[in-house]
Structure 1
């Protein structure tokens, strides 16, 4: 007697994802990055400067708030990924969490807009991270649910393009909206509107109720531990992503203050927007092309290694050429490197997942490599800037960390 076919949600996809589906998922992804990076690039830094108590450095306030949010992100992403794996809604496993996440994120951004103390600011940002990570975990897991291996570089490229456009849009909204409160409200509205086309127009494969794993807390928590001994490729891929993202986070964390305090730009807010736009142009020129090229060659490692080296050179420019032209060149090179890295690393990660039934949870654990640098970067950056040599040393350290991450991709054996 033959076994019954596995439900669609638990099989490896074979049909190529359509353009409409890819576009809608990319738009939803970009909308989430608007909700994150409008605050991270501009609004939180401005709030930190306004709300910092007398005698407390604005850098320390910003580091504390973003670090607390990153801790929440590290927990929320795998948790909501695991919950979406177990969701047996007739609307699918992922769509309910995307909708709930963006609605909650918009509400949290509105709450953050009204924060009048550092504690209120930290609470609001933690809620933003909690809710938007619920949506992001579901969006990330939708790719291995619906996209075959040979198309994941291309789809990862489109998601990466949407990500950087979301960063640009969030930075732009925060800059031109007309104040901190208006900036938060604009980001909140965009976050909801951008996610609606995917939720409303595209079917999400449902998990039959009879196939839903039991939701036991002990088993859920135990599942978050993935043995490096049993899954060494996943461990090396995670470490590669963590180190490259840590180097990038160190480079970007104090960008507004770098322009204001080191380069003495008359309009540092506008300078951040210009650098973000330059970065976006070069990233968009490589992110989709690199994904397609990686799919055609069937190789991932050379692209990740090359991207890491380019990003190392860019960060080194911020350390050694502390001028406005140097910052422009660094932004352009960071865009080239991060564009290649974003699309190809995502495809590589989906190829080292242990099991189809736990894609959301496993990708959530992998995404800790995106969130943990947001915790580690402030811890490293604040004392370096204030006591250990300033921005030149900070960017030198960032370059070294990123290069180490790029080299470690060669330890992955199961993906070329």
Structure 2
């Protein structure tokens, strides 16, 4: 087994490599957020106008369940890949092609069953891209550069959400929106594929099914900092997911905007700009100070304020203010949390698999969110209660990051 692919990196990466990795991440998040923010909501309403929340929650929830399983498995497969092209590049390209196929299925779906098939394919293969790409950071980037590079990679979901929402909105039709997202996700990975230069793993670790399955359990007693990092990310994403899942319907039914799709795009653009500005600034600041936790704590409290604004001021100006505050807080979180997580990984051999386990904390909340959000919106107080619950969970996540001991 070559040690080059497993050694802690010491050479700083160049901007061109970072741009290629970020663009690949933007592509997969565009493939996810274009449907989540607009297309799946519109399609659910078109297929079941009287039961749109249930259909939308069913499709996104089952898709997220696929993501929960797929993320760590793709990571483990990537860690063991001995292709002459490296461990990460084959799954980046193959995953993009598979996700595009799922989007094309969605573009022609005329029933809920085919929606489920298409969305599950997008989640399944999108996670292959994400697992490979997130692992490239600890593979190639030295610790002292991870706040900046990791921040850029983590924040890729923000322009990804903006691009995906734009592709889903500007073309007007549901089918065309899916096709546009499919084309973009394939194009987005090509710069990385062209210049990946992944270190090759000559001999894969021995495969024993029982040990392979056991590897997905990372004991919080043996690795407590990993456990706390997982829990805080999980709570951050639960808070975000229950607040943002029904944003389209919140704007349409609670705020009363005339065009919810365009309004989602406008809010996403405002949120994206605020997130990018703060992520760039705070990622570099975190590297200079050598501190991570204080930034994550602050971000949780700021994001909770945004949810409170949405709960008590359900107007268009309130939604704009909420997007600004949320963007500021989320930018700080994204720029620093990914760097923190790469510093608590148990070992170099299983980087992608361990990051896949971390990514469960991103996808599992999408399974839980519809179960929590749908009854609250329908029967237990509506959107004010939903956003107050989001605020409490997000603030708690920020506080609990203090439990991580090995990172300042």
TM-score interval w.r.t. the shorter chain?
over 0.9
Which of the residues 205, 208, 222 maps onto 2:202? 208
CA contact (8 A) 1:279 1:331 kept: yes
Alignment of 1:179-328 (within 5 A): 179-209=173-203, 212-328=204-320
TM-score with structure 2 setting the length:
0.98
5+ unaligned residues in a row in structure 2: which ranges?
none
Whole-angstrom CA distance in 2 between matches of 1:161 and 1:305: 18
CA contact (8 A) 2:34 2:166 kept: yes
Residue 6 of structure 1 deviates from its aligned partner by 5.6
Partner of 1:178: 172
Residue ranges of structure 1 left out of the alignment (5+ in a row): none
- 1:288 deviates by 1.6
Q: Which 4+ runs in 1 deviate beyond 3 A?
A: none
Shift of 1:172: 0.4
8 Å CA contact retained: 1:160, 1:339: no
**Partner of 1:112 in structure 2?**
106
Aligned residues of 1:7 and 1:208 also touching (Cα < 8 A): no
Give the count of matched residue pairs: 408
Q: Match of 1:333?
A: 325
Q: Kindly state the Cα deviation for residue 268 of structure 1 after the two structures are TM-superposed.
A: 1.0
Partner in structure 2 of residue 40 of structure 1 = 36
Give 1:333 shift.
Answer: 0.7
1:111-152 deviations in Å (ceiling 9; x for gaps): 111111111101110110000101110000110000011111
Match of 2:16 in 1: 20
Aligned to 2:391: 399
Once the two structures are overlaid, the 10-residue window that deviates more, 139-148 or 286-295, is: 286-295
Q: Does 1:96 align with 2:95?
A: no
Counterpart CA distance in 2 for 1:89 and 1:130 is 21
Q: Which region of structure 1 is more displaced relative to structure 2, 141-150 or 154-163?
A: 154-163
RMSD: 1.1
1:308-387 mapped onto 2 (5 Å cutoff): 308-387=300-379
Contact between 2:2 and 2:200, CA under 8 Å: does it hold in 1?
Answer: no
| Correspondence 1:68-147 to 2 at 5 A | 68-147=62-141
SS of the aligned residue for 2:5 comes to helix
Q: Deviations over 1:202-239 (max 9, x none)?
A: 20111112xx1123322211100000100000101111
By how many angstroms is 1:348 displaced?
Answer: 0.3
- TM-score when normalising by structure 1: 0.97
After superposition, the C-alpha distances for 1:282-314 in whole angstroms (9 at most, x for unaligned) are 011111211111111000000000011100000
Separation in 2, partners of 1:115, 1:214: 42
Q: Which residue number corresponds to residue 46 of structure 2?
A: 50
Please tell me whether the aligned partners of residues 154 and 338 of structure 2 are also in contact (alpha carbons under 8 angstroms).
no
